[in-house]
Amino acid sequence: MNKVTLKVLHGSLSTKEFTFQERTTCVIGRALDCNISLPDDQAHSTISRYHCLLDINPPDICIRDFGSLNGTYVNGEKIGQRGTGTDLDKAKRLIYPEYDLKNGDQFKLGDSVFQVSVLNDSEESSSLISRENIPLLTMPVSEPDPLDKINLLLEKASENNGDLFFIKGYNIVKELGKGSMGAVYLAQKTDNSTQKHPLIAMKVMLPKVESDPRSHRQFIRETKNTQLLNHKNIVKVYDIGCHDATFFFTTDYCEAGNVSQLISQQGGKLPLYLALKILMQVLDGLEFAHTVKIPVVVLADGKKTSAVGLVHRDLKPGNIMLTNVDGILQAKIADFGLAKAFDVAGLSGRTATGISAGTPYYMPRQQVINFKFAKPEVDVWAAAATFYKMVTGCYPRKYTKASDPWLITLKTPVTPIREHDASIPQALAKVIDQALVDQPEIFYKSASEFKDDLSKVV
């Protein structure tokens, strides 16, 4: 098993060890809710409350300084220090200073020193090995074109390759768009095969790093249950497959694009009535997904159990698709659990949905602190954040280029919605502001509670 261990060599946590065996993140600082929390006292006053972030995908580990006042040192060299009195422009250039750590590296904040050990199980030796010796497994693979990949699979499917049966007989008509993990195509049935849907969206996802069948299985296992989501406000997933490290999903085609595109088309904001209509539909979809019965869940060890509810974990305007049903706009949530499952399975590297490049604009602080936080309330918060964006054109928190967005999410309160637009009715604004409370906890625990309060004020 690939493993990253941090041993504290000096400081108040001295001799403690932290071991990471799966994809995760870790915030270090003086705040109580940090993953590694240092005492909030005079002796640690040179450490910021949220000082730095570790982005871990064993055996990879990267450290990112949050623009802390006193900086983080790697092997004696300061990374990302922002000097007192630095002007904004200069600070901008120092944004997101990251450093890839390797076996034997030491990093230091205040007087706390951490030693990094990396264990890569692909090496024969079980002793600690140097990161420089393991380039093939951990380096990003050169980016293949998803269109080439899917065309190849469609060709194989036509030769009756078993696990490609459900894409047999389709042809790619056009690209619908690209995302950070792949692309989505419009596909049309061109033969007289038994496929039920003449026109579908075919989503193709490609791992960003060299990956193994175990992580492919983990991803498929996590996403399979989305096929149970039969609801008018959720994009229907017909089939899911993986072949040759290419994941493919066949889904409903939503011809009217997504909410992010609609916001742009409408000049940056949507009229209140339309935003409310979309929000209500999204909450209906969430309520269904969060309470859906999942008869069989296959656990990592192969055991089976049952469960209730699926959480999206990456709800945002770009993942709310639109379609016209008898001339009436219908919102449908897309990509249930996909981005996060991809990341959790270690397939995104640190560059795609990985925390380094991902955007926390629609995430409550709980998701930033706890990589695996997956309660339904994160989707409810994200639905409120999406509404906020639709109505005001802004994110709930004020993000500036000069500061790390992850730090802003951790430290900055949400701006009350009427500060952007005083024409929003007070009673409605109160419910939205309430829905965006995430400290100490998220206010609405379920989509139905949020919906009930909304229905009293609209």
Ligand X SMILES: Nc1ncnc2c1ncn2[C@@H]1O[C@H](COP(=O)(O)OP(=O)(O)OP(=O)(O)O)[C@@H](O)[C@H]1O
Inter-CA distances, 223 with 108, 133, 242, 282, 337, Å: 39, 34, 12, 20, 7
Options 68-76, 156-164, 190-198, 317-325: segment touching Mg ion (CB under 5 A): 317-325
Decide if residue 319 touches ligand X (CB under 6 A).
yes
Between residues 335 and 379, which has the closer beta carbon with respect to Mg ion?
Answer: 335
Q: Is 334 in the site for ligand X (CB under 6 A)?
A: yes
Q: Out of Mg ion, ligand X, none, which partner does residue 47 contact, by CB within 5 to 8 A per kind?
A: none
The residue number whose beta carbon is nearest to ligand X equals 179
Q: In terms of CB distance, is 181 or 275 closer to Mg ion?
A: 181
DSSP state of 18: E
* Segment interacting with Mg ion, rule: CB under 5 A, options 47-55, 311-319, 395-403, 447-455: 311-319
Minimum distance of ligand X from residue 368's CB (angstroms): 17
**319 touching Mg ion, by CB under 5 A:** yes
- 222 and 342 in contact (C-beta within 8 Å)? no
Q: Which helix or strand (DSSP H or E) is residue 339 part of?
A: helix 338-344
Binding segment (CB under 5 A) for Mg ion, from list 66-74, 110-118, 156-164, 316-324: 316-324
The interface partner of residue 254, options being ligand X, Mg ion, none and the CB cut-off 5 to 8 Å by kind, is ligand X
318 binds ligand X (CB under 6 A): yes
Task: Return the number of the residue (48 or 319) whose C-beta is nearest Mg ion.
Answer: 319
Strand partners, 191: none
Over the window 329 to 368, marking each residue x when it contacts Mg ion by CB under 5 A and - when it does not, the resulting string is ------x---------------------------------
Member of 28, 36, 52, 235 binding ligand X (CB under 6 A)? 235
Vertex 143: Cα angle to 65 and 165 (nearest 5): 125
Is residue 161 part of the contact set for ligand X (CB under 6 A)? no
Return the H-helix or E-strand segment holding 378.
helix 377-392
Which of 53, 201, 262, 289 is close enough to bind ligand X by CB under 6 A? 201
Establish if 226 lies at the interface with Mg ion (CB under 5 A).
no
Toward ligand X, which CB reaches closer, 173 or 298? 173
Name which of 114, 79, 4, 100 is nearest 404 in CA terms. 79
Q: Which amino acid is at 142?
A: S
Long-range contacts of 218-224 (CB under 8 A, 24+ apart): 218/300, 218/341, 218/344, 218/345, 219/247, 219/341, 219/342, 219/345, 219/347, 220/247, 221/298, 221/300, 222/337, 222/341, 222/344, 222/345, 223/249, 223/337, 223/338, 223/341
The span from the CA of 196 to the CA of 259, in Å, is 28
Six token digits for residue 194 = 């038994």
- The footprint of ligand X (CB under 6 A) covers 176-182, 184, 201, 235, 251-254, 257-258, 318-319, 321, 334-335, 339
- The footprint of Mg ion (CB under 5 A) covers 319, 335
